């Protein structure tokens, strides 16, 4: 398949996804998870479910580097909590987020839940750390895991996908409510949403409702993904001082992206506040005209 053919196929599937056609139609009659596979091109190793989408990517020369923009955006939780005690992740993929957290946060307890054992079987090929007393990969259903009581993570990262996109169990209003309940006070959740269209706007709205409005959606550079931030019992605010302080804590080259990510998140928050202020002024003017 040529590069242009691949680009056309990706664009086609993005369009169908935005129309809510591709996922539902493809799910009919599907009872088993499709077997994932790995491809190597030059120094890059990728994880796939099929020939038209890439689930994860690793630079063989720097396995900790985050090569895809949405993974860098999801590490934006560091700007709100640079020293979390406990992180939980739903979805392993090629382990990009897991490896970066393990590298940058040596004192943090990290648990990853992955439903597909075939994904976990690739952990050595993607140089994912072995399980120990602070790092573990569990086989299980992410929605069931979140619904359980017990742990109160400071950070909850939702990056669970199959070959059809976000499973319905991981983007329902009930699921986001359970994420909110599971988090520690002040905890941060980030959800990776893929594709465009009304479905993702609906999912982002559900996060906002579950987190009492303390949520923002930040698109990736290419626009194919968006990271939805939610914070429990705390305002989602980010100042330039916060960004600078966090960047100063992480001098590793794998964290050099934090200032740029922080500025994008901050602009998104500020834009939302500006829009809200405009709406409040408009509402007051309309009320004054009625009176």
Residues 217/204, Cβ–Cβ less than 8 Å: yes
Closest to 183 measured CA to CA, from 155, 161, 159, 206? 155
CA distance 61 to 238: 33
How far is Cα 24 from Cα 266, in angstroms, rounded to an integer? Answer: 35
Helix intervals (H) in 28-95: 69-74
Identify whether the C-beta of residue 237 lies closer than 8 Å to the C-beta of residue 204: no
Instruction: Please report, to the nearest 10 degrees, the dihedral formed by the alpha carbons of residues 176, 182, 184, 188 taken in order.
Output: -30
Q: At what angle do helices 198-210 and 3-18 cross, to 10 degrees?
A: 60
> Is residue 69 among the annotated active site residues?
no
Query: Would you say 137 and 131 are in contact if contact means Cβ atoms under 8 Å apart?
Result: yes
55 with 48: CB under 8 angstroms? Answer: yes
Sheet holding 215-219, edge to edge: 135-139, 109-114, 86-90, 155-158, 188-194, 225-231, 215-219
Query: Which is the catalytic residue, given 8, 159, 242, 270?
Result: 159
CA-closest candidate to residue 186, choices 230, 147, 227: 230
Closest-CA residue to 46 (of 33, 59, 34): 59
State the catalytic residues: 159
């Amino acid at each position: 398949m040529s590069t242009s053919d691949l680009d056309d196929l990706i664009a086609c599937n993005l369009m169908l996804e935005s129309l809510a056609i591709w996922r539902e139609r493809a799910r009919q009659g599907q009872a088993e998870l499709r077997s994932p596979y790995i491809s190597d091109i030059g120094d890059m190793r990728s994880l796939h479910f099929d020939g038209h989408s890439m689930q994860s990517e690793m630079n063989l020369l720097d396995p900790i580097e985050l090569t895809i923009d949405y993974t860098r955006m999801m590490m934006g939780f560091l700007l709100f909590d640079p020293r979390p005690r406990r992180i939980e992740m739903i979805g392993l993929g090629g382990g990009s987020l897991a490896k970066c957290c393990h590298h940058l946060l040596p004192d943090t307890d990290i648990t990853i839940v992955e439903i597909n054992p075939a994904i976990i079987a690739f952990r050595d090929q993607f140089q994912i750390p072995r399980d120990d007393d602070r790092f573990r990969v569990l086989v299980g259903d992410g929605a069931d895991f979140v619904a359980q009581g017990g742990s109160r993570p400071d950070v909850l990262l939702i990056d669970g996908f199959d070959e059809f996109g976000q499973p319905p169990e991981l983007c329902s209003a009930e699921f986001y409510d359970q994420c909110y309940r599971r988090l520690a006070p002040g905890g941060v959740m980030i959800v990776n949403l893929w594709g465009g269209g009304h479905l993702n706007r609906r999912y982002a709205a559900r996060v906002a409702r579950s987190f009492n409005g303390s949520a923002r959606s930040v698109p990736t550079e290419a626009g194919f993904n968006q990271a939805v931030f939610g914070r429990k019992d705390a305002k989602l605010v980010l100042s330039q001082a916060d960004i600078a302080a966090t960047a100063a804590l992480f001098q590793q080259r794998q964290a050099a992206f934090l200032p740029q990510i922080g500025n994008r998140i901050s602009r998104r928050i500020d834009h939302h506040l500006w829009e809200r202020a405009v709406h409040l002024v408009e509402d007051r003017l309309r009320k004054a005209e009625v009176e």
